[in-house]
Each structure stands twice: as structure tokens, then as C-alpha cells.
Amino acid sequence: MPVKRLAVLIDADLHRRFKALVSTKGLDMSEVARELIERWVKENELFAAGQSPTQPYSNLQTDRLSKETIAALKLATDEKVFHALLELLHGQD
């Protein structure tokens, strides 16, 4: 697949922190940036198509949680994270 180069201007301190965190995890800055861009594009393509990135979570049993809590949890677009948070909250009852 053809690739394109993208130059991104960021604050020097943010660059330093990003580079340090990425290296402690044994990753490459470009890998992490690509992953973040891919996630953002997928979420926004769903939104543009009239779908919510959180639609897969709409059928969950959340009757014991407040509407505000559910809305806050649905901000998480990773299904595993969302389910883990629900389990934690249900366990606190």
C-alpha cells in the first residue's frame, strides 16, 4: 500500500513526553500516531454516516446506572474498556 508523509507541528514539551512514553513501551512514535489517526478516522466516519461509535453498547443491561454515568461511559469507544467499566460499576452496588 502506498504511504504518505505527514508533518505535524506540536509543542516541544508534548513531543518530549510522547517520545519518552512511546520508547518506554518499546513502540515507535509513527506507529502510535498512525493508530491514533486510524481510530479517529473510523470514529468520525461512523459519525458522518449517521452512526454512533458507541452503538454496539446500546443493548447492554444498564438499568442500574444513572443516565449520566451511561453517557460518560459511552465516550469510551473501545468495547473491552466499556464492558470493564460497567463490570466495575455494577460490582460497587
Contact predicate 62/70, CB 8 Å: yes
Domain containing 75: what range? Answer: 53-93
Q: How many domains does the chain have?
A: 2
Considering the domain architecture, whether residues 58 and 88 belong to the same structural domain is answered as: yes
| φ/ψ of residue 3, rounded to 5 | -120, 155
Name the pTM for this structure: 0.52
Q: How does pLDDT run across 48-83, given as a tens digit for each residue?
A: 777 665 554 444 455 555 666 666 656 555 666 666
Burial of 86 (0-12, 13-18, 19+ CB in 10 A): buried
Q: How does pLDDT run across 16-37, given as a tens digit for each residue?
A: 999 999 999 999 999 999 989 9
Considering the domain architecture, whether residues 45 and 65 belong to the same structural domain is answered as: no
